[in-house]
Chain A
Amino acid sequence: MGVAWVWGYALLGTEAVPVRVEAHVRPGLPGMTIVGLPGVAVREARERVRSGASSAGMPLPAQRMTVNLSPADLRKEGPGLDLPVALALLAAAGRLPAGALDSIGAHGEVALDGLVRPVRGVLSVAETAGKMGVKILLLPITALPEAAAVGHVDALGVRSLAEAVAAVADIRVRERLRRRGRRWLRARSTVPPHGDVHGPDMAEIAGHRHAKRALELAAAGGHHLLLLGSPGAGKTMLARRVPSILPPLTRDESLEVTRIWSVAGLHPPESGLICSRPLRAPHHTASRSALVGGGSLPRPGEVSLAHRGVLFLDELPEFSRDSVEALRQPLEDGMVTVSRRSGSCTFQAACTLVAAMNPCPCGFLGHPQRTCRCAAEAQQRYRQVLTGPLGDRIDIMVEVPPLTALALDEDVAGESSAVIRTRVLAAREFQISRETSAGGLFSPTNGAARHPRLLEKRLCMSAAGSRLLREALVRSALGGRGYVRVLAVSRTLADLEGSAGITQEHVAEALALRLDVVAGILA
């Protein structure tokens, strides 16, 4: 009879914030009140916990019960607080020995029949619990694989509220549950080893060697890329295979990706860490907050779900101007800050943008067999998206010509993704060694204004290459930003070849990938 408390967790962005769940049981009119800025789902915990507890054979006392969630000024959402609320109430009602809840954390939804169900954000919760040094973290057993990725926390998987209560009360039960958890994990360790690539392979694409090379370049240098071509030319097919040529995720990257996906509720916790690079392809009707994240308690958007992977925007000009504008910050900084009344959250969003568009609204401008029926104004309007802030952030623009029968008949299989990925990895390694020897990692496009000559010297530009770049500046619409982008792409080309300096050929090929410059499509 009296007061008890236990640690629960509330999600704020991708962070789990520790919440002290306090319960007080006293004589009075029977009823339960939850205070401390509970969201709707948390307020409804009242009914779930009451039913769950009686199903577990430990009905809550017919007394006055108050639950407080501290810090009281942080809005709490989601059913993950069910389990700590139930434990705190049962302890306050005297169902648990005194002090049993000391340094214990819990996270899970309580079902009406007393079972404990998985909820989102398990990885973040486990990380926070580990940092705080709780003795035991009680989780639904299906969430164990995800929590197991965090080494320094004793996560205990429970199936029901009754098991949770028993585990808290009795060390022997804890031991039994721990053994069961290990067995359970072993039985489900079907997680593919790191770097195993599933999904479509580059070898399946006939022809399009030029476009494939551009994709390889984008993968090697982390450049954002635009594919331009008529409907049916193969843009989507190419874009879907970009993740397969990106280097495998490192363990840290895996953790980052899993954290975001778990918080978004898109990753079932029983499948453990995410090990392959994500590809997100939002439809062009996606709203601004769907793309960059939002909601009154901010949730990650598509650009964050594509973190460390590929964000594929098909039919780029069809996206609303508003949502495209919003992509500017994440594409530049690799993270996005969503500010709402309840506070602001920063989500990681280091993705490679792959955009695709037709040459004109009908798609047949310049097609060898078909006629374009678009008005000239409509064509201009269609391409306007490229003159905006997004166009400035796309390093590589490559045209995908419609396939000829000849290329379709080509029976030579293209290179497989694995072969391309070996080159991409080599280029990245070369880049890192080159930049470490030149004094620290350095990106020419990170916005830091530098004198062109210093920049070129730093990137080892040859005299002939520099001359060609200057000729392009004079003869075309290549502006200051375009100049830096061409410089960056030509550096990646040199890295792919393992060449210390940027030659004239590298600059020429980089120029070929700036359609806005050479083809004057923005003129």
Chain B
Amino acid sequence: MVAPVTALRPSCDEEAALALSWMSADASRGHLPLLHEHTPLEIWRAGAAELRMWGCRHDWVARFSERRHAFSPLEALAVLARSRVEFISWDSPRYPPQLRMLFDPPVGLYLRGEMAAWDTVCSMPRVTIVGTRTPTAYGLAAAAALAAAFADAGVAVLSGLAYGVDARAHEIALASEGMTVAVLGSGPDVPYPMRHRHLMSRVIQSGAVISELPPGTKAAPWLFPLRNRILAALGDAVVVVQAGERSGANITADRALELGREVFAVPGSILGDSHIGTNRLIQQGAAICLSPLQTVQDFHEATRMLTIGRESVGRQSARPSEPPTATEGLVMLALGGGPRTVDEVSEAAGISLGEAAGVLAVLELRGRARRVGPGRFALGP
């Protein structure tokens, strides 16, 4: 048993990277900081004494040595092939250099999606849009407006596929035919939350889903802060749409600041504590989002040095739509001043109640209006 396994031991950096990253599914992450000094193969081959000398903790070294023997590259490659996951190792040209700035960079990334799409993402400006899983109607609307503005400007939208702001950002980026990438806190083949599996497959189709965790890894609470550091590093700037006191978005913002990334925060209500995280970021000096368009401009301004040589791809085509009818125009005009109920729209537009309800339904169906709460409508997708 021992001999063939030894024969299959990783023999190059790429295999060593795969081996090392395969172990990051559990708590074996002590080797990641070593990457700044040593190649993956060196780390893989290092003896216990050497690892200790490099500053690793004793208990971790013991566990690492033990687990290292159980790894089989062939098996890992088979899993990758089966789950149609690509591995981008530490030394691959496709490994985003921005991640190397992390204190504990991922030793590789697992990717689902077209490699061409990933290359496009790497060559374009990227923004990370994050926020609470339980946004207010305003938070959702802001996420949508920002994602649409960035997608229209040819900036890739990165987020975490979570409920609330994350999902909204992905959805709107997809709807605007922009590029979007989901960074997961589970294996790249494990949709989390389960409800977003369809959204995830849509992201895979037109963008990419990445994770530093090997296929099959189940989501766990302690994995999300680690996912957030990748989100922070990969985006040229981070936009926090809405965060409460203890939102994970605050972690992303903190990590982004450590990396010197610009952090934008959407100002929110000072009543209640649903916006306290974002408002506090602004207090601490985060850039404020004045409007979706202004935010895109500020983003370009702030990240000019970071994104030199990368191109804005731009949106290829607007979705085909008939021009609005006169009544639809009236209704849209009535919605201009903020969310309105059907009753209010019918009064403001001077049309019958039934007509107002019908026109709103058609506008909603065609993505020109949306519901922001029970019976209240606003403009936009």
Q: Whose C-beta in chain B lies nearest to the C-beta of A511? A: B361
B361–A368 contact, CB under 8 A?
no
Report Cα–Cα, A287/B134, bound state, in Å: 34
Q: Tell me, rounded to whole Å, the shortest Cβ–Cβ distance linking B351 to chain A.
A: 10
Q: Which residues of B contact A233 (CB under 8 A)?
A: 374
Contact residue among A208, A400, A508 (Cβ-Cβ distance under 8 Å from B359): A508
The 0/1 profile, CB within 8 Å of A marked 1, for residues 233-262 of chain B is 000000000000000000000000000000
B134 and A518 contacting across the interface, CB-CB below 8 Å: no
Tell me, yes or no, whether A246 is within 8 Å of chain B by CB.
no
Give 18 new A-B contacts, CB below 8 A, not counting A213-B357, A511-B358: A209-B343, A210-B341, A213-B354, A365-B373, A367-B373, A368-B376, A371-B272, A376-B163, A399-B371, A401-B341, A401-B376, A404-B341, A471-B365, A505-B358, A509-B355, A509-B357, A513-B357, A519-B371
Assuming the contacts A365-B373, A401-B373, asked whether A207 and B365 have C-beta atoms less than 8 A apart, the reply is no
Q: How far is the CA of A233 from the CA of B341 in the complex (A)?
A: 13
- In the complex, how many angstroms separate the beta carbon of A262 from the nearest chain B beta carbon? 41
- B274 CB-CB contact with A under 8 Å: yes
- 8 tightest A-B CB contacts, nearest first: A366-B373, A508-B358, A401-B375, A399-B375, A512-B361, A376-B163, A512-B357, A509-B358
Query: Given known contacts A210-B343, A376-B164, is B371 in contact with A371 (CB within 8 Å)?
Result: no
**A residues 127-155 with Cβ under 8 Å of B?**
none
In the complex, A372→B364 CA distance in Å?
23
Cross-chain contact A512 with B358 (CB below 8 angstroms): yes
A472 touches B365 (CB 8 A): yes
A71-122: which residues lie under 8 A (CB-CB) from chain B?
Answer: none
Contacts of B346 in A (CB 8 A): 209-210
Whether A327 sits at the interface, judged by CB under 8 Å, is no
A352 within 8 A of B: no
B8 interfacial by beta-carbon distance below 8 Å = no
Would you give the shortest CB distance from A62 to chain B, in whole angstroms? 75
Query: In the bound complex, how far is the Cα of B137 from the Cα of A366, in angstroms?
Result: 5
Would B374 and A366 count as touching, CB distance under 8 A? yes
Q: Which of chain A's residues have a CB closer than 8 A to the CB of B375?
A: 210-211, 229, 398-401
Within 8 A of A (CB), among B126-176: 133-134, 136-137, 163-164
Contact with B along A487-523 (1 / 0, CB 8 A): 0000001000000000001111101110000110000
CA distance in complex: A365, B361 (Å) = 20
The reply to whether A366 and B376 contact each other, CB–CB distance below 8 Å, is yes
- Is there an interface contact between A375 and B354, defined as CB atoms closer than 8 Å? no
| B361 A210 Cβ-Cβ under 8 A | no
Interface centre among B134, B354, B359 (most CB of A within 10 A): B354
A456 vs B10: C-alpha distance when bound (angstroms): 68
Chain A 382-406 per-residue mask, 1 if CB under 8 angstroms from chain B, else 0: 0000000000000000111110100
Q: Are A518 and B361 in contact (CB under 8 A)?
A: yes
Given A209-B346, A229-B374, A475-B366, residue A512 in contact with residue B274 (CB < 8 A): no
CA distance A270 to B164 in the complex (A): 60
The answer to the question of A41 belonging to the interface, with a C-beta cut-off of 8 Å to chain B, is no
Interface assignment of B195: CB less than 8 Å from any CB of chain A: yes
- For the complex formed, measure the closest distance between the CB of A220 and the CB atoms of chain B, giving whole angstroms: 13
In this complex, which of B137, B353, B375 has the most chain A Cβ atoms within 10 angstroms of its Cβ?
A: B375
Q: Is B339 an interface residue (CB 8 A)?
A: yes
Also in contact, A376 and B134, with CB within 8 A (given A209-B346, A371-B272, A493-B354): yes
Question: Once bound together, how far apart are the Cα atoms of A505 and B361, in whole Å?
Answer: 10
A402 to B361, CA, bound (A): 20
> CB-CB < 8 A to A507: which residues of B?
358
Tell me whether B74 is interfacial, beta carbon within 8 Å: no
Determine if A286 is an interface residue (Cβ-Cβ < 8 Å).
Answer: no
In the assembled complex, which residues on chain B have CB atoms less than 8 Å from the CB atom of A373?
134
Tell me, yes or no, whether B179 is within 8 Å of chain A by CB: no
Query: Which A residues between 150 and 166 are near B, CB-CB below 8 angstroms?
Result: none
Q: Report which A residues bind B (CB closer than 8 A).
A: 207-211, 213, 228-230, 233, 359, 365-377, 380, 398-402, 404, 407, 468, 471-472, 475-476, 493, 505-509, 511-513, 518-519
Contacts of A505 in B (CB 8 A): 354-355, 358
Which B residues touch A511, using CB under 8 A?
A: 358, 361-362, 365
B274 — which chain A residues lie within 8 A by C-beta?
A: 371
Known A210-B342, A376-B133; contact A401-B374, beta-carbon cutoff 8 A: yes
- A508 with B361: in contact, given A229-B375, A368-B373, A475-B366 (CB under 8 Å)? yes
The smallest C-beta distance from A23 to any residue of chain B, in angstroms, reads 66
Q: How near does chain A come to B236, taking the closest CB pair, in angstroms?
A: 29
The reply on B360 being an interface residue by CB < 8 A is: yes
Provide a sorted-by-A list of 10 A–B residue pairs whose CB atoms are within 8 angstroms. Answer: A210-B346, A210-B375, A371-B272, A372-B136, A376-B164, A380-B195, A400-B375, A475-B366, A509-B361, A512-B342
Check if A402 sits within 8 Å of B354, measured CB to CB.
no
Flag B59-88 by CB within 8 Å of A: 1 or 0 each. 000000000000000000000000000000
How far does the alpha carbon of A268 sit from the alpha carbon of B316 in the complex, in Å?
A: 74
Q: Shortest Cβ distance from B19 into chain A, in angstroms?
A: 36
Does B223 interact with chain A (Cβ within 8 Å)? no
Could you tell me if A519 and B372 are in contact, using CB atoms closer than 8 angstroms? no
Q: How far is the CB of B20 from chain A (nearest CB, A)?
A: 34
Asked whether any CB of chain A lies closer than 8 Å to the CB of B324, the reply is: no
Contact A209 B358 (CB under 8 A): no
Contact A207 B343 (CB under 8 A): yes
The answer for the CA separation of A404 and B374 in the assembled complex, in Å, is: 13
- Name the A residues within 8 Å of B329 (CB-CB): none
In this complex, what residue of A is CB-closest to B163? A376
CA–CA, A446 and B202, complex, Å: 38
Chain A CB count within 10 A is highest, among B272, B354, B366, B374, for B374
Complex: chain B residue closest to A398, CB-CB? B375
Please give me the residue from chain B that is nearest to A228 by CB atom: B374
A371 touching B136 in the complex, CB below 8 Å, given contacts A210-B353, A376-B164, A380-B195: yes
A359, B136: Cα distance in complex, Å: 13
- Cβ contact within 8 Å between B372 and A366: yes
Flag if A208 contacts B371 (CB, 8 Å): no
Residue ID in chain B nearest A493 by CB atoms: B354
By beta carbon, the residue of chain B nearest A478 is B365
CA distance A210 to B359 in the complex (A): 13
Known contacts: A366-B371, A380-B195, A508-B359. The answer to whether A372 contacts B365 by CB under 8 A is no
Chain B CB within 10 Å, residue with most, of A468, A476, A508: A508
Chain A residues whose CB sits within 8 angstroms of the CB of B373 once the complex forms = 359, 365-368, 401
Question: In the complex, what residues of B have CB within 8 A of residue A471's CB?
Answer: 365
Q: Does B193 contact A (CB under 8 A)?
A: yes
Please give, as numbers and ranges, the residues of chain B lying within 8 Å of A370 by CB-CB distance. Answer: 272
Interchain CB contact (< 8 A) of A407 among B195, B343, B358: B343
Proximity bits, B321-348, A CB within 8 Å = 1, else 0: 0000000000000000001011100100
Most buried by B among A229, A377, A401: A401
The answer to whether B374 touches A400, judged by C-beta atoms less than 8 angstroms apart, is: yes
Report yes or no: A210 in contact with B365, Cβ–Cβ below 8 A. Answer: no
Chain A proximity of B366: nearest CB distance (Å): 7
Closest to A368 in B: B373
Output the least CB separation between B113 and chain A (Å): 23
* Distance (whole angstroms) from the CB of B39 to the closest CB of chain A: 43
Tell me whether A402 and B374 are in contact (CB under 8 A): yes
Q: Which of B136, B195, B272, B366 has the most CB of A within 10 A?
A: B136
Residues of B within 8 A of A369 (CB): 271
Q: Closest residue to A369 on the B side, CB-wise?
A: B271
User: Could you tell me the distance in whole angstroms from the C-beta of B273 to the nearest C-beta in chain A?
Assistant: 8
B365-A208 in contact (CB<8A) = no
- B342 — which chain A residues lie within 8 A by C-beta? 209-210, 512
Q: Which of B179-218 contact A (CB under 8 A)?
A: 193, 195
Chain B's nearest CB lies how many Å from the CB of A233?
7
Chain B residues near A359: list those with CB within 8 A.
373-374
Q: Which residues of A contact B364 (CB under 8 A)?
A: 518-519
CB of B207 to closest CB in A, whole Å: 20
Task: Report Cα–Cα, A513/B372, bound state, in Å.
Answer: 16
**When chains A and B are docked, how far (Å) is the Cα of A508 from the Cα of B358?**
4
